[in-house]
Amino acid sequence: MPKYIDIAVNLVGSALEKDLHTIIENAVNQQVSPLIVIGSDVEESEQASKLCQQYPQQLFSTAGVHPHQAKTWDDQSCERLKQLYRQRHVVAVGECGLDYNRDFSPRPEQRAAFEAQLNIAVELNLPVLMHERDASTDFIAILKNYRAELPAALLHCFTGNRQALEQYLELDLHLGVTGWVCDERRGAELASLVPDIPNDRLMLETDSPYLLPRSMRPKPKSSKNKPEYLPFIAQTVADLRQQPLDELAAHCYANSLDFFKLEGLL
């Protein structure tokens, strides 16, 4: 049975939080372990770190401020995040980036928080997990100033077009693919691009509890996505790439181990 690492799970402050033990256990039963718990603001990042201490080797976390929360960035944010990065189970800066689709934070504040976190990643030599939606021009312009000094950079939940794919690969980014690719309404373009992502750039994620794969049969009773569904996403991606599942899973697992430097932690 192939092994998987779910590189983006929203366990803190989500619908999954009430049933954590079962969520983690069911994922392990499907060979989905460890899980990378996403931090979307400073407080959530601190909570995610504490959660990881309860489930050593099964949970690791990121620490950062999502563009939706960029307006919360203040003089204390940097130091509080740096405290978290001292812990072995905090394995990346993020989720950070730009989101011009909803503009929950003013765009200048999004850009400032994004740059601040890229600076931290460079200073501490940490990989960065990023978010971008409807902001590729500014996102790329900012990232280009830091990319050469970053050890590794991941755009999670990639849903862009071919031009974006080419630009992100040119920047040597890893790309995370979610159940969006299983959505015949919105995911057709992503499905057409998945075969063109190099083996060594691809990672898999659920972004649970969001983005439940629409093509799952039988359809789950709950609309909540869960890490245990990652093998279904993997099979869909393998089919699109005309690649054996075992081969695809092995590449994605190795990429995730290397990106988050998990080899010595498991």
The answer to whether 31 and 250 have CB atoms below 8 angstroms apart is no
Order of all β-strands in the sheet with 90-99: 4-9, 32-37, 59-63, 90-99, 128-133, 153-155, 174-177, 202-204
CA dist., res. 213 & res. 222, Å (int): 12
Confirm whether residue 207 is marked as ligand binding: yes
Residues 6 or more apart whose CB falls under 8 angstroms from that of 166 comprise none
Return the SS3 of 194.
helix
Confirm whether residue 41 is marked as ligand binding: no
Confirm whether residue 46 is marked as ligand binding: no
Confirm whether residue 21 is marked as ligand binding: no
- Rg (C-alpha) for the chain, rounded Å, is 17
Q: What φ, ψ does residue 242 adopt, rounded to 5°?
A: 50, 50
CA torsion sign for 250, 207, 55, 93 is positive
Residues annotated as binding site?
95, 131, 156, 207
Q: List binding-site positions for a divalent metal cation.
A: 95, 131, 156, 207
